[in-house]
Chain A
């Protein structure tokens, strides 16, 4: 069963009299446990697509199912709960909560969704911090760690709820070359271990090079789909 199913997905923004068609009827399916990259020039609709898949925005028309749920019909509170339970986010600017420590940032989605007790939360946080190599930094605040470390924490936070899907919008844009590779490797290994689907919007050839499936977007349309799974095996 496909994790994401999109049919004729369209999104139009209106600013006064001006109408901008960001997505013009996209249809695609994404299978579980894949490393998928959406590439394309600025304004091609990558971020808009990720926002729709991430339940952060609603399509103007078309259907979009994530993990069997028609996400366009979810209300504000239900959408938040759905995101908390099913989707992890990795942002370009890391977006860690500045008043929480590294460990608390990772724990945060579990607290908000409230599905496990303190002991289990601690175990899961420790396990993920270990996986991203941040155990020794657990008590530091985001302001006390580097950009690469922040993104590793963000990856751990995205994975803490054991989501089926992680959406990453330009996750390496603010990282140097070595750190970017380290973060990509980290995500790939977590994908293998946890069978999580990673969906990227990116310009970064490093990510594109590692992706199993690459969708190319241009002017709100999918212009190309490249499946590299055979070559990656």
Chain B
């Protein structure tokens, strides 16, 4: 076999320019795929990280029907003490769950004593919230939140609201809210910080302590309406979702339907559709790579067979079996694929290294100056290289088979 490889490689070297051009073409395709998937992969990871780690968590648990009416921030779908115990017991039992935060989400009026406007608020336990949404403290643009993020009586105001209402850390504001029974209550807060807005649901919400939320809404017993759950690994999303559904899915409401609903970030954030579009585009780029490899390798191999008909006849005449002739041409095609993918991988690695040293800065929605640091996944390199080699084999198969089926006498007469 090593002799077949040796002869195949020498035949490629015989037509240096053609081999180089074909390899360069394959290389360009490989670089396009690897860089595209690397950059878009980094963009996806960064955005998903921003979305899940800043606000959403990897998945959320609510009472059934809550998400469908989330725009109203209903308070009649709160989870009571029994529900909370059931859900927290299930979450505590799952090894993949890193942290979770129980929230009371509600809508209210925000007043700076001169003007009043609407605001969406999250009542949270700051210690839990920091663990479940670790990027939240980094979103604080103004004010010193320290390690505690929030204390009772503090409010974190979203950036746009702070600008519109001209409030800054240290100012006193009033939150007015209507509770489940329709009675109105108000409470003064000190602005502890101004929060950067982020893209996606909840990205423009304010934060107060959960005790303040309970006080405004006059909630006597333990009640929340949302659990945001952070996983140790985003890859375990489906597994945890299934395990959680199994653990709490048996709880039924009065109508006999499941009492709770579980939503992954994919179902909650519109960015998931962008992520899917990126995946489709990556697939399209891979299809283009397949086309490039198929056409270029097949073209070269057809030429190689056509130019060496007499030589094929000679080697067949002196005892080279059809299978060996087939292997000879297949290896030529495979070598082109290997050469192109190796060159493409090296160029891509160099480009990625450059991008690591000089990361791409970009804005996404309200988020400014996000830094993209692409990385090449070894699995992606292996998949792309194997794809190129496989297509090279397929592209070489027909010309190689044709060569192996040539009659020595006819082939040797070829001029």
- For residues 82 through 133 of chain A, which have their beta carbon under 8 Å from a beta carbon of chain B? 83-85, 88-89, 91, 95, 97-100, 108-109, 111-113
* Chain B residues closer than 8 Å to A54, beta-carbon distance: 317
Whether A89 lies near B11 (C-beta < 8 A) is: no
Given A56-B409, A91-B412, A99-B10, A109 contacting B314 (CB threshold 8 A): no
A80 at the interface (CB under 8 A from B): yes
**A89 with B318: CB separation less than 8 A:** yes
Closest Cβ–Cβ distance, residue B59 to chain A (whole Å): 61
Q: Is there a chain A Cβ closer than 8 Å to B321's Cβ?
A: yes
B89 within 8 Å of A (CB atoms): no
Expressed in whole angstroms, the minimum distance between the Cβ of B140 and any Cβ of chain A is 69
- Contact A83-B319, Cβ < 8 Å, known A98-B14, A112-B324: yes
Considering the complex, give the chain A residue whose CB is closest to the CB of B311.
Answer: A97
Q: Are B319 and A85 in contact (CB under 8 A)?
A: yes
Asked whether any CB of chain B lies closer than 8 Å to the CB of A46, the reply is no
Whether B20 sits at the interface, judged by CB under 8 Å, is no
* CB contact between A97 and one of B315, B322, B407 (< 8 Å): that residue: B315
Closest CB-CB distance, A167 to chain B, in whole Å? 9
B305-326 interface (Cβ within 8 A of A): 310-311, 314-324
**Contact indicator A80/B310 (Cβ below 8 Å):** no
B344 in the interface, Cβ–Cβ < 8 Å? no
Contacts of B319 in A (CB 8 A): 80-81, 83-85, 109, 112-113, 161
**Which of A81, A88, A89, A161: most chain B CB closer than 10 A?**
A89
For B318, give the chain A residue with the smallest CB separation. Answer: A109
Q: Contact between A83 and B318 (Cβ–Cβ < 8 Å)? A: yes
* A112 touching B318 in the complex, CB below 8 Å, given contacts A56-B409, A97-B311, A98-B311: yes
A157 to B315, CA, bound (A): 11
A57 CB within 8 Å of chain B: yes
A77 located at the interface, meaning its Cβ lies under 8 Å from any Cβ of chain B in the complex: yes
Q: Which of B7, B314, B320, B323 contacts A95 (CB 8 A)?
A: B314
Chain A, range 38-56, C-beta contacts under 8 Å to B: 51, 54, 56
Kindly state the separation between the CA atoms of A16 and B324 in the bound complex, as whole angstroms. 33
B3 on interface, CB distance cutoff 8 Å: yes
A89 and B317 contacting across the interface, CB-CB below 8 Å:
yes
Report the bound CA distance from A54 to B409 in whole Å.
10
Whether the Cβ atoms of A99 and B408 lie closer than 8 Å is: no
Check if B409 sits within 8 Å of A57, measured CB to CB. yes
A76 at the interface (CB under 8 A from B): yes
In this complex, how many residues of chain B approach chain A with their Cβ under 8 Å: the count is 24
Instruction: Give the Cβ gap from A180 to chain B, nearest Cβ, in Å.
Output: 21
- Specify the chain A residue showing the minimal Cβ separation from B9: A99
Q: Which residues of B contact A97 (CB under 8 A)?
A: 7, 311, 314-315
The distance in angstroms between the C-alpha atoms of A144 and B174, with both chains bound, is 96
Question: What residues of chain B lie closer than 8 Å to A108, measured between beta carbons?
Answer: 315, 318
Instruction: Indicate the member of B316, B318, B324, B405 with the most A CB atoms within 10 Å.
Output: B318
**A112 and B310 in contact (CB under 8 A), knowing A95-B412, A98-B14, A99-B7?**
no
Q: Which chain B residue shows the least CB distance to A77?
A: B321
Whether A80 contacts B14 by the Cβ 8 Å rule is: no
Does B316 lie within 8 Å of A80, measured CB to CB?
A: yes
Please, how many angstroms separate the alpha-carbon atoms of A157 and B13 in the complex?
Answer: 24
Distance (whole angstroms) from the CB of B414 to the closest CB of chain A: 11
- A84 x B318 contact (CB < 8 A): yes
Contact of A77 among B11, B317, B322, B408 (CB under 8 A): B322
CA distance in complex: A57, B315 (Å): 15
Complex interface: chain B residues within 8 A of A100 (CB): 7, 10
Q: Give the docked Cα–Cα distance between A54 and B316 (Å).
A: 12
- Contact for A80 among B3, B10, B322, B405, CB less than 8 A: B322
A-B residue pairs, 9 tightest by C-beta: A84-B319, A99-B10, A95-B314, A80-B321, A111-B3, A112-B320, A56-B409, A56-B408, A57-B409
Contact surface of A with B, Cβ cutoff 8 Å:
51, 54, 56-57, 76-77, 80-81, 83-85, 88-89, 91, 95, 97-100, 108-109, 111-113, 157-158, 161
Q: Can you identify 16 A-B contacts, CB atoms within 8 angstroms?
A: A56-B407, A56-B408, A76-B405, A77-B322, A80-B316, A80-B320, A84-B320, A84-B321, A95-B311, A97-B7, A97-B311, A98-B311, A99-B13, A111-B3, A112-B321, A113-B319
Given contacts A83-B319, A98-B14, A157-B318, 12 further A-B contacts (CB under 8 A): A51-B409, A54-B317, A80-B322, A84-B321, A95-B314, A97-B311, A97-B315, A98-B311, A99-B14, A112-B318, A112-B324, A113-B319
